[in-house]
Amino acid sequence: MKTFPLSKDELETLTKQYPTPFYLYDEAAIRRNARAVLQAFSIFPAFKQHYAVKALPNPFILKILADEGFGADCSSLPELLLADMAGLAGEDIMFTSNETPAPEYRKALELGAVVNLDDYTHIAFLERCAAIPPLISCRYNPGPLKGGNVIIGAPEEAKYGFTRDQLFAGFSLLRDKGALRFALHTMVASNELNLDYHLETARLLFELAVELDTRIGIRLEFVNLGGGIGIPYRPDQEGIEYTRLAEGLKGLYDKIIRPAGLDPLGIHTEWGRVITGPYGWLVSRAIHRKSIYREYIGLDASMADLMRPGLYGAYHHITIAGKETAAETETYDVVGSLCENNDKFAIQRRLPPIQTGDLAIIHDAGAHGRAMGFNYNGKLRCGELLLRPGGSIKLIRRAETVEDYFATLDLQKLKTFF
Ligand SMILES: *Cc1c(COP(=O)(O)O)cnc(C)c1O
């Protein structure tokens, strides 16, 4: 059963102050979730979770997570600045980028972030544009050793990371160039709900950690398992339990890392989706009903606010405020206003009868939701609200205005240009 923290009346009152559409995030639920992660992983000698900023790039959220003890995982200059705004610095920040521009490497080093190199050639690139820092991480692409995942695809076809051979050469080169502390990263899955898939990834990294030590004397300080823990978007799916994941990883750690004498080895993660995804909702109003070859419900939100259904055919559960338990007697396509026929939040979805004016709540939108928004078709991205633990609701990002949309144009110049 998917839940939403406000009653229909509370939501109607809220929309008088903040017209739909908007995102709402539940701070208490996010904090509880962060604590559950840290509790489950406290069985490791050293654990650090770096929240993937791209999932919900709002400094208010990052500050909440930093307060709970999370770091940040950044992949661009603005994401580094967001981590900085949240008060994070130094090794609390992982910089996992690819095809990285030189100024972004410079900023990462300036903040003292852990640079995670995506390619062998970036060793020379980083040295040219800044310097090789004492602590350096490399991203591994296991290629044919690892099966594919729906969103990222087969590792062999993925653009990320070093091959195995390149890692051995890369760490040796980095040591020659003065690096003193080393870490290994991989990220081969996205939204993966299969526990064994994640354990298998960890096994690959642990075995590689042992091989790096025995073959070339590179003793890793930590391994970073990346992001990619799935969430149950569909009501009949089950999430991954942190305790089962942590215990599974600990079993591998005790079997592979300890006997090799590599204990303590830090375990790092870069989870985004599982941290905030279930605790954010896109709230929208049905403004049209249309009956042609199919029945359509037109919302005041569009794919420009939440791209996942249009981009990957992703499922997002929808409930109608006040009709949570009503019988699902109708079949609708629930759509937005973009001039693109994939602007559909749901296709042929069973739902209770919907009238114009009803509030539609789109669930599990707290990660890769507002963050993926865009301005195509002149759409203005909606704002973000935070439900505080005491029950008050605060605006943490206002909705865009037409002035924002035109802000990058010099309209004075247009008047005299031709
Ligand atoms: C996207 C991404 C993450 C976060 O992924 P989630 O699926 O949100 O957990 C972490 N690390 C890297 C390198 C990523 O690209």
pLDDT by residue (tens digit) across 147-185?
A: 666 665 678 888 999 999 999 999 999 999 999 999 999
- pLDDT tens digits, one per residue of 103-148: 999 999 999 999 999 999 999 999 999 999 999 999 999 988 776 6
Domain ranges of the chain: 8-23+278-406, 26-277
**Residue 377's pLDDT is what?**
96
**Residue 152's pLDDT is what?**
59
Domain spanning 8-23+278-406 has what CATH number? 2.40.37.10
Average pLDDT over residues 303-326: 97
Phi, psi (rounded to 5 degrees) for 351 = -145, 160
**Residue 365's pLDDT is what?**
98
CATH of 26-277, one of 3.40.50.10800, 1.10.3260.10, 3.20.20.10, 3.40.50.720: 3.20.20.10
- Tell me how far the alpha carbon of residue 277 lies from the centroid of ligand 1, in angstroms: 12
State the amino acid at position 382 in one-letter form.
C
- pLDDT tens digits, one per residue of 264-290: 999 999 999 999 999 999 999 999 999
Contact 271, 239 (CB under 8 A): no
Q: Is the CB of 273 under 6 A from ligand 1?
A: yes
- The Cα–Cα gap between 53 and 71 comes to 10
Whole-number Cα distances in Å, 226 to 95, 140, 279: 12, 11, 21
Q: Is the CB of 185 under 6 A from ligand 1?
A: no
- DSSP-based helix, strand, coil % in the chain, nearest 5: 40, 25, 40
- The Cα–Cα gap between 301 and 283 comes to 8
Neighbours of 144 (CB within 10 A): 8
Length of the chain: 418
**Residue 352's pLDDT is what?**
98
- The Cα–Cα gap between 345 and 336 comes to 7
In the chain, the largest separation of any two C-alpha atoms, in whole Å, equals: 75
Q: Is the pLDDT of residue 344 over 90?
A: yes
Share of the chain above pLDDT 90, in %: 95
Q: Round the average pLDDT of the chain to a whole number and report it.
A: 96
- Tell me how far the alpha carbon of residue 270 lies from the centroid of ligand 1, in angstroms: 6
Q: Is the CB of 231 under 6 A from ligand 1?
A: no
Average pLDDT over residues 29-50: 98
What number does the ligand 1 atom closest to the CA of 160 have?
Answer: 13
Helix (H) / strand (E) containing 124: helix 121-129
Q: Is the pLDDT of residue 244 over 70?
A: yes
Residue to probe by mutation, ligand 1, list 190, 276, 370, most atoms within 8 Å of CB: 190
Q: Is the CB of 73 under 6 A from ligand 1?
A: yes
Share of the chain above pLDDT 70, in %: 98
Average pLDDT over residues 341-345: 97
